[in-house]
Amino acid sequence: MTAVARTDAPFAPPTLARRALRRLPWWIAFAFLVVTALLWVYPFIWMVSASLKDSLEIFSAGLQLIPETLAWENYGRAWEDANFGRYMINTVIVTVWTVAIVVIRCALCGYVLGRYTFRGSRIIMGILVATLFVPTGYTIIPIVKISLQLGLLNSLTGMILALSGAANVSAILIYAGYFRQLPKELEEAAVVDGASFFRVFFTIMLPLAMPVTATVALLTFLGTWNSFFLPLVFSFSRPELRTLSVGMQAFVGENAVDWAGMAAAGVISIVPVVALFIFLQRFFVEGIAGAVKS
């Protein structure tokens, strides 16, 4: 009996009202998605709007999002007077160097760990996995102490080294996992042709790992650009070394009433990462999803 009812159901033309009713949960879900999405972008829209209002309008306009006149001078104030131009240069320097160091060192390390077994390889792997989740709050005091001893505290070099030396274990694991599953014949052919270990890696293996490199570079870029704890501690006594995230907090501490300048500084700091995300979204999503799949 049930079998007959089941096969008949799709062929019975449902009336318009019934179809609409059946789609009702869908419409509710859709409306919910739209409302949530608006809520999700609201803070950013508010920030952009505030960055273009003049200093008085911010306090009087209430919920009005569109400024009466576009006050572009807020950006000038943030860039020049509040030093965000300097902070931007610092952030770019720190981020570019950190990404380069992390990509190279993780690719090299992931390659040998993923492709070779040697004395100590299991121990190294074990140490890396055991320290996968070490929080910065735990390691920060010795990092500052050793940087002081090496004369690297209060310098961008010290900040770059500390950022590229901390964490990043997951990048090594991604590389190791990728290199492990490449077929053995790849390097055997090259070795017979007389290629060295070094050349096999740089001419065959590294180019093959381009998708991994893209993911690692992007996630490291994101993590470094957005980092706060280490840059904060490394620029305590030298404000000219602040990165954007540290500069933002300092700016608000000094100019609590300049909301428009604060918002402009926020837009300046966030636009590069958001632009990068929108253009390279696929790699971001794949990089993060990789944590679950592996």
Partner 1 sequence: MATLSVRAGRKQVAGLHPKLEFSAARKAQNRRRNLWIWLFLMPTVVLYGLYTIYPIIASYWYSLVEWNGFEADQRFVGISNYQAVFADPMFWSSVKITLVFMLLVAPARIILSFLLAIVLNSPKLPFATLFRTVYFLPVVTTTAIVGVVMQFIFDPSSGPINSALRAFGISDGISFLGESSTALYTVAGVYVWKFFGITMIYWLAALQTISPDVNEAAKIDGANSVQIFRHITVPLLMPFLIIISLLTIEDTFRAFDLMQTMTGGGPFFSTEIIEIYIYRWAFAASIPQLGFASAAAVLFGLFVFVVGLIQLWGVYAARRLRADNQ
**Which of these segments, 66-74, 80-88, 203-211, 269-277, binds partner 1 (CB under 8 A)?**
269-277
- Comparing CB distances to partner 1, the nearer of 143 and 174 is 143
Footprint (CB under 8 A) of partner 1, residues 17-46: 26, 29-30, 33, 36-37, 40-44, 46
Min. distance of Cβ 73 from partner 1 in angstroms? 19
Shortest approach of partner 1 to residue 80 CB, angstroms?
19
Identify the CA nearest to 214 among candidates 171, 177, 176.
171
SS3 171: helix
User: Can you state the percent helix, strand and coil of the chain, rounding each to 5?
Assistant: 80, 0, 20
Q: From the list 124, 186, 195, 204, which residue makes contact with partner 1 (rule: CB under 8 A)?
A: 124
Least separation, in Å, of the C-beta of 222 and partner 1? 6
Q: Which of 19, 127, 180, 203 binds partner 1 (CB under 8 A)?
A: 127
For the segment 60-79, give every residue that binds partner 1 (CB under 8 A).
Answer: 62-63
Q: Which is nearer to partner 1, 72 or 236 (CB)?
A: 236
User: Do 217 and 168 form a contact (C-beta atoms < 8 A)?
Assistant: no
> Least Å distance between CB 212 and partner 1?
16
Between residue 41 and residue 60, which ones bind partner 1 under the rule CB under 8 A? 41-44, 46-47, 50, 58-59
What CA–CA distance (Å, rounded) separates 235 from 252?
A: 17
CA distance readout (Å), 123 to 55, 126, 127, 167: 59, 5, 6, 17
**Least distance CB 255 / partner 1 (angstroms):** 12
Distance CA(229)–CA(134), nearest Å, equals 14
Which residue of 154, 155, 157, 165 would you call a contact of partner 1, by CB under 8 A? Answer: 165
| Ranges within 81-100 binding partner 1 (CB under 8 A) | none
Cα angle value 223/229/235 (rounded, 5°): 110
Nearest to 72 by CA among 58, 57, 54, 85: 54
Which member of 94, 99, 106, 212 binds partner 1 (CB under 8 A)?
106
Q: Are 59 and 248 in contact (CB under 8 A)?
A: no
229 binds partner 1 (CB under 8 A): yes
Shortest separation between residue 177's beta carbon and partner 1, angstroms = 14
**3-state per-residue secondary structure call for 222-241:** HHHHCCCHHHHHHCCCCHHH
Q: How far apart are CA 46 and CA 55, in angstroms?
A: 14
Radius of gyration over alpha carbons of the chain, in Å? 26
Q: Which of 132, 151, 203, 239 binds partner 1 (CB under 8 A)?
A: 132
Beta carbons of 33 and 13 less than 8 angstroms apart: no
CB closer to partner 1 out of 70 and 282: 282
Contact positions with partner 1 (CB under 8 A) in 178-207: 185, 188, 191-192, 197-198, 201
- Which of 78, 94, 99, 162 contacts partner 1 by CB under 8 A? 162
> Contact, 84 vs 78, CB < 8 A?
yes
Q: How far is the CB of 96 from partner 1 (least distance, A)?
A: 17
